[in-house]
Amino acid sequence: MNRLLRSTRLSIADRLGDNILSLIATLHVLFALSLIAILFSLSPAHAAEDACGGKNLIAAMRASDPVRFAALEKEAAAVPNGKGTFWKIEKDGIAPSYLLGTMHVTDPRVLAMPKGASEAYETATTVVVESDEIVNDRKAAAALLMQPGLTMFTDGKSIKDFLKPEETEKLAAGLKQRGIPLTLVAKMKPWMIASFVALPACEMSRKAAGASFLDKKLAEDALKQGKTLKGLETLVEQLTAMDALPVKFHLDALIETLALGDTVADVMETTTELYLSEDIGMILPLMKVVSDEKSPSDGTDYADFEQRIVIDRNRTMATRAKPILDGGGVFMAVGALHLPGDEGVIELLRKDGFKITAIN
């Protein structure tokens, strides 16, 4: 399950999003989302669902294994900047700026934002998001068309060439349950296919209907209000990071994703509730525990993922944000999983001379 959540986003939105977890929430896979309308036309029952449902996995762990839960809480408490999603950024001589950790989902609870964030947004003259291409589908599509190898197999192969016969059957069956013929998506990279099935049907339905996730809404509102909009990464850079991970990593993630079935809604609900309670430092430790239960490993895959998709991107974001923040009056919104940790965006910006304080 951990592989699934980390390899799509968050994305997805990446896009998938994001992250996957909702790291499902770390990437904006706009190209994938543009295809969802086609896929939903094959499965109208899914598109009609409105409620995500899902149960909180933490509540179950607290009841069934209090010792493990206590260890999880202790680990999460040790994560620097692991508590909080809304932060004030200050430096002598410039107007204060603000940093919001986001989830790249359309859940109304997330769109509401924490107390004080709306007011801070209104006073900002510049809005910064991970990629400003989220408000320009044509620009994003054109960038992807220039590098089709990021999302599709362009060497004559298909996903079937990387699977054993029994794995192909399992994949075909899992996709069929979601109304997606394998033949329709066989030329796509496995993480692209995963972006179609890594989110609950209600979230996919809302996005297919045109609902904006939080980052996109903030970017759209910035343009409507005449604010300056800036992005810290390009879509191609985001997808290049995802594509750099081994194909087998993504294949395993895809198959595990399909095996989850309705548990995807539980993962989404758990991640959302952790986000809303501002316990972002607990998200990755929890998913490591769940991953070890589902598919024990030596941690190599996770380390590679964390380096490429989280840490490397944290450094890029902080480096590119610094000159913008030096101007003051900024409202910056990036995926919440980029904030905590010794190598998170908050600590990196502090090393650049900014004072950053949690609000609420």
Strand-pair partners of 332: 99, 128
3-state SS class at 101: strand
Whole-number pLDDT of residue 339? 97
Domain ranges of the chain: 2-358
Lateral strand order in the sheet of 14-19? 9-12, 14-19, 24-28
Nearest to 6 by CA among 197, 144, 198, 134: 198
State pLDDT tens for residues 26-51.
333 333 333 333 333 333 333 334 45
Mean pLDDT of 251-272: 81
Whole-number pLDDT of residue 358? 97
Identify the weakest region by mean pLDDT among 57-66, 102-111, 296-305, 329-338: 296-305
Q: What are the structure tokens assigned to 299, written together?
A: 């941690």
Strand-pair partners of 333: 100, 129
Half-sphere exposure of 350 (CA within 13 A, CB side): 17
Whole-number pLDDT of residue 37? 36
pTM: 0.83
Q: What are the structure tokens assigned to 138, written together?
A: 């044509």
State pLDDT tens for residues 296-333.
555 566 778 888 889 999 999 999 999 999 999 999 99
Residues 6+ apart with CB under 8 A from 356: 87, 88, 89, 90, 99, 346, 349, 350
Nearest to 280 by CA among 268, 271, 289, 267: 271
Lateral strand order in the sheet of 228-231? 228-231, 126-129, 330-335, 97-102, 86-90, 355-358
Helix (H), strand (E) at residue 126:
strand 126-129
Average pLDDT over all residues of the chain: 81
Whole-number pLDDT of residue 19? 31
